[in-house]
Amino acid sequence: MSGGLVEEPLADALATAAQGARMVVLGHPDIGTTDVLAATSRAGTVTEHASCPVTVWRGQPGQLPDRRPVVLGIDDDADSAEAALTAFEYAHLFAAPLIAVHAQSTDHVTEPGTGREHPAERATPVEDILSAARRAFPDVAVTAAVVSTPPRQALIERAADAQLVVIGTHGRKRAVAVTGESVSPHLFHHSPCPTMVCPPRPPSARPTRGPTAYTRTAPTSATETAIPGVTIRTLGPGDRDAVVQLHQQMSAQDAHLRFFAPRPKHLGEFATQFCRQDYAHLALGAFEAHELVGVANYVVTDTTPGHISAEIALIVARHEQQHGIGTTLVRQLGTAAYFHGVAHLTAEILAENTLMLAIITEQGWTDALHHHGAAVHFDLELISHRELHPDLPDIPQEGTAGRAIRKGRL
């Protein structure tokens, strides 16, 4: 990180710095009309000259990425393809859904020699614009909406429930939509969430796109643990058969503790859902050599902004229980959930499931357990738990290996 004072106008200095940057981020002053208009003008100047995305940051102070969708404004102009890649990139990094909004033109053109007007034709289908981004980020859940309302109205309406709005530009002009309205200044001024404007980049300036270019909170490749010979990584569709085999080897007692019933009859379908990679699912697998010996996963059950909840579950092969694998999986799952915007981790645990309860205790989460007869309800509020108990292990720290796990512990 570097910084310094500049004597030239701030907008010009930012536009110059943006030539070699990956992104420019501008704060938005929510105090006084004059300041807001000045910030809007400054953002427009930077956008006109930048070759990288420009983001005007709005919203609640300290707001972290969460499960709210990323909204992509689709224009018939080819520049929307760059905006689509950037929007998909952000949605992929934070496991968020994406809503692509295409505001159809209501423009009319005059037919030469007749004086008759008819609607302007727009030939670029939404799917053509999204196709490259879909290929680069196949894990992103996408909803496409074609609307007839003015573009800035359509985007402002969806921004109310979004964590980011992404739009493109028309060449080096300010971002406008098919109707010719100035969309970016309107969003800079009125959007309740951050707005990102993506100008086209020359091919040589484009970063590598796709999931393999990023380090995710949950490892996509195997990472070592404190347990000799055991690695952990995110599970995907290619792990379906291994998940089936792990569950087939479960004893009747382990199945009862995990499912409150016999193991599922259709394990293939169960494993397919288990290995899904989207904004509502995450599964981690523990491997000894190439054998899957344990899995922990969560499924989002409540997408209320600020109160996103995910239910967790765990299974460890019987011959590997009490070796620390379950503790390590649950800890890494909790860290990943925090960084993916989950506010609450929940689970229903049978009171007789002493191994799972011991894992919860090992994490320092005892106060999140609530006993109700034969069942124990687990509800951990990730943020407040850290604030109320600073002496306990700090869950949301990327790259933390955690405490050493000794043989004989969970």
**Buried b vs exposed e over 75-101: b needs ≥16 C-beta within 10 Å?**
bbbebbbbbbbbbbbbbbbbbbbbbbb
Whole-number Å distance between alpha carbons of 167 and 155: 10
DSSP single-letter state for residue 14 = H
pLDDT band for 149, please (50, 70, 90 cuts): confident
Which helix (H) or strand (E) element contains residue 26?
strand 24-27
Whole-number Å distance between alpha carbons of 326 and 314: 7
Condensed to tens digits (0 to 9), the pLDDT of residues 332-375 reads: 998 888 877 788 999 999 999 999 999 999 888 899 999 999 99
Highest mean pLDDT among 14-23, 268-277, 309-318: 309-318
Whole-number Å distance between alpha carbons of 162 and 185: 18
Condensed to tens digits (0 to 9), the pLDDT of residues 391-409 reads: 444 444 333 323 222 223 3
Highest mean pLDDT among 71-80, 147-156, 288-297: 288-297
**Helix (H/G/I), strand (E/B), else coil: 371:** strand
Whole-number Å distance between alpha carbons of 222 and 236: 13
The stretch 256-282 carries a mean pLDDT of 88
The residue ranges of DSSP E strands in 106-141, in sequence order, are: 108-110, 117-119
Q: Strand 344-350 relative to strand 309-316: parallel, antiparallel, unpaired?
A: parallel
DSSP single-letter state for residue 65 = P
The C-alpha angle 395, 397, 400, rounded to 5 degrees, equals 95
Which helix (H) or strand (E) element contains residue 102?
strand 98-103
Q: To the nearest whole number, what is the mean pLDDT of the chain?
A: 75
Condensed to tens digits (0 to 9), the pLDDT of residues 25-77 reads: 877 655 444 344 444 445 555 666 666 788 888 777 666 777 789 999 987 65
Whole-number Å distance between alpha carbons of 124 and 104: 11
pLDDT band for 175, please (50, 70, 90 cuts): very low
Task: State yes or no: pLDDT of 301 exceeds 50.
Answer: yes
386 neighbors 394 (Cβ within 8 angstroms):
yes
Condensed to tens digits (0 to 9), the pLDDT of residues 93-117 reads: 888 899 999 876 555 445 555 555 4
pLDDT band for 7, please (50, 70, 90 cuts): low
- The residues near 67 (Cβ < 8 Å, ≥ 6 apart) are 95, 96, 97, 279, 280, 300, 303, 305, 308, 340, 341, 342
Pick one of 2.40.50.140, 3.30.70.20, 3.40.50.720, 3.40.50.12370 as the CATH number of 10-212: 3.40.50.12370
φ, ψ dihedrals at 313, nearest 5°:
-150, 160
Where along the chain do its domains lie? 10-212, 216-388
43 neighbors 55 (Cβ within 8 angstroms):
no
Count other Cβ atoms within 10 Å, centred on residue 289. 8
- The superfamily in CATH containing domain 216-388 is Gcn5-related N-acetyltransferase (GNAT) (3.40.630.30)
Amino acid at 1: M
Half-sphere exposure of 95 (CA within 13 A, CB side): 26
pLDDT of res. 293: 95
Whole-number Å distance between alpha carbons of 381 and 344: 5
pLDDT band for 212, please (50, 70, 90 cuts): very low
Domains 10-212 and 216-388 share a fold: no
